[in-house]
Amino acid sequence: MALLQGSISGTCPVRLSLSTSVSSPSRVSLAVPVVKGWRSSCRRLVLRAMVQETVQGSASVYAREMERLSAKESLLLALKDAGGFEALVTGKTTNMQRIDVNERITSLERVNPTPRPTTSPSFEGRWNFEWFGSGSPGLLAARVIFERFPSTLANLSKMEILIKDANAKATANIKLLNSIESKIVLSSKLTVEGPLRLKEEYIEGMLESPTVIEEAVPEQLKGALGQAATTLQQLPAVIKDTLASGLRIPLIGSFERFFMISYLDEEILIVRDTSGVPEVLTRLETPSPSSVVETLEYDR
């Protein structure tokens, strides 16, 4: 609904103030020159057309935002129905579930509210991997683990990534024998190549020192683990410190990739690599309201 205020004289320009509540409250000022001799009906027709165009533009933005929220909810439900991260990495996701998720990814990408995601404050933060495409490096690495080791021996519980100050740190959480936990960490540098495109250069890989959950260790393995712990304590201090800080592998100059951000808002991040394979991530930490101001920009 719009409220129109103003005055019309025979020779003076018309100045109007338009308030609309279709979306967020806003006020638009219009100035229309009036030529002497116009009929009042002609003036009313021109003004009505200008007011309708303004109101319809606000309604279009509102409708697009409702479409976006619906598409986002639809994708999250499809990911849940597909079995989540565990079903994906263990190969239990069906072809029907895959095509359904990919269809909803495409629908959400069409209403991306962030035109320049590579420089948006919303890009930074801690994200959780929810979906990999069939050719994603993350999914291939997970498949290697599950194809070579049964789930009772090795299990990839989750993968997440921290993005901050043009750097990224991806962490994969691995559990061995349901009692030994460890993490594989990949550090990389991000370079902005455009409003949508980024280059990722890997810097270092690290295998963190494993943590033993004593109450979960099978009885038949407790003796072997005890002997291993005793042996580690007898190693020189330099070696013990190295093992405690994790095994680090330099990766500078060995691997890089390009990818584009096809969707970004305060909760969901979708990226595609050079082959078009999508990855869907959901935010683990909510950004501070003072540091992130989301701007919705749609083409009418």
Q: pLDDT of 27-46, one tens digit each?
A: 444 444 444 544 454 455 44
Evaluate whether residue 203 is within a structural domain: yes
| Residues recorded for the chain | 300
Question: Distance (Å, rounded) from C-alpha 138 to C-alpha 41?
Answer: 67
pLDDT tens digits, residue range 183-224? 888 899 999 999 999 999 999 988 887 776 666 555 655 565
Evaluate whether residue 234 is within a structural domain: yes
CA angle at 115 for the pair 114 and 116, rounded to the nearest 5°: 95
Averaged pLDDT, 53-63: 73
> Where does residue 256 rank: exposed (0-12), middle (13-18), buried (19+ CB within 10 A)?
middle
Evaluate whether residue 247 is within a structural domain: yes
Evaluate whether residue 293 is within a structural domain: no
> What is the span of the domain harbouring residue 130?
122-283
Q: Give the CA dihedral 57, 63, 68, 69, nearest 10 degrees.
A: 130
Q: Name the token pair of 286.
A: 């909510």
Evaluate whether residue 130 is within a structural domain: yes
Counting the structural domains of the chain, the total is 1
Evaluate whether residue 31 is within a structural domain: no
Evaluate whether residue 260 is within a structural domain: yes
Evaluate whether residue 249 is within a structural domain: yes
pLDDT above 90 (res 292): no
CATH of the domain at 165: 2.40.128.280
174 in Cβ contact with 207 (< 8 Å): no
User: In percent, how much of the chain has pLDDT > 70?
Assistant: 56
User: Which segments of the chain does DSSP mark as H helices, in order?
Assistant: 40-81, 84-89, 95-109, 137-148, 219-233, 237-245
Q: What is the pTM of this model?
A: 0.68
pLDDT tens digits, residue range 67-105? 999 999 999 999 999 998 878 877 788 999 999 999 999
